[in-house]
A and B are shown apart, each in its own frame.
Chain A
Amino acid sequence: QSVLTQPPSASGTPGQRVTISCSGSSSNIGGNTVNWYHQLPGTAPKLLIYSNNQRPSGVPDRFSGSKSGTSASLAISGLQSEDESDYYCATWDGSLNVVVFGGGTKLTVL
């Protein structure tokens, strides 16, 4: 059971917009910034979004992040087949003094 809650799966058709939620509490998301990572099968995770809504260089602007209260969201617009991946949110939990991850969301492009 992950401290951060993500839907296990999400899907969309090419061109659509999909969102992935990440729900936490005041000790983690509520008090700290959120990073998002994506992971293709058999490869290492890569940073997608940092500080809630910032994109590292090289990440397309189709990817956006937001945070409100104790929840965060990742939005992908103009969905493409290469967006099929696992997506994870992560943040610091100030009560537990640990990094916490969401359980991951497998995105399928139909």
Chain B
Amino acid sequence: EVQLVESGGGLVQPGGSLRLSCAASGFTFSTYWMDWVRQAPGKGLEWVANIKQDGSEKYYVDSVKGRFTISRDNAKNSLYLQMNSLRAEDTAVYYCARGLLGAASHWGQGILVTVSS
């Protein structure tokens, strides 16, 4: 069974940092692009970033460029999102997704990040 389990969320002050992790199981992690998608309270889905199978290509939405870094460890079947200089508008549920635009797209259950003083 495919499983994606996010962790590392919580409450952080504006300007602070958090590192989200996504533990993957039930599939060959190293063969898929991986994505982070977020959803602010009561709002729609917003794509954040994605990373190629070998980590050689990474793409980000403009609003997080220079602040967020996506990475992966294929040996540990894990995806990460390092979030720095957090702002109130980064408050959202963050989802890890396998191959968002592919035929085998699968999402984790999500993790809440709250940026507030």
Task: Check if A and B associate.
Answer: yes
Residues on A lying within 8 angstroms of B by beta carbon are 2, 32-33, 35, 37, 39, 43-47, 50-51, 54, 56, 86, 88, 90-92, 97-104
Residues on B lying within 8 angstroms of A by beta carbon are 35, 37, 44-47, 50, 59-62, 95, 100-110
Instruction: Find the B residue at minimum CB distance from A2.
Output: B44
Given A46-B107, A98-B59, A98-B61, check contact A91 B45 (CB 8 Å): no
Please tell me if the beta carbons of B59 and A45 are within 8 angstroms of each other in the complex: no
Please tell me if the beta carbons of B101 and A45 are within 8 angstroms of each other in the complex: no
Interface residues of A, dominant DSSP: strand
Please tell me if the beta carbons of A44 and B108 are within 8 angstroms of each other in the complex: yes
Given A44-B109, A44-B110, check contact A33 B47 (CB 8 Å): no
Inter-chain contacts of A33 with B (CB < 8 A): 101
Inter-chain contacts of A43 with B (CB < 8 A): 109
Please tell me if the beta carbons of A45 and B44 are within 8 angstroms of each other in the complex: no
B42 to chain A, nearest CB (A): 11
Q: Of the candidates B95, B101, B109, B110, which one forms a contact with A35 in the assembled complex, judged by CB atoms under 8 Å apart?
A: B101
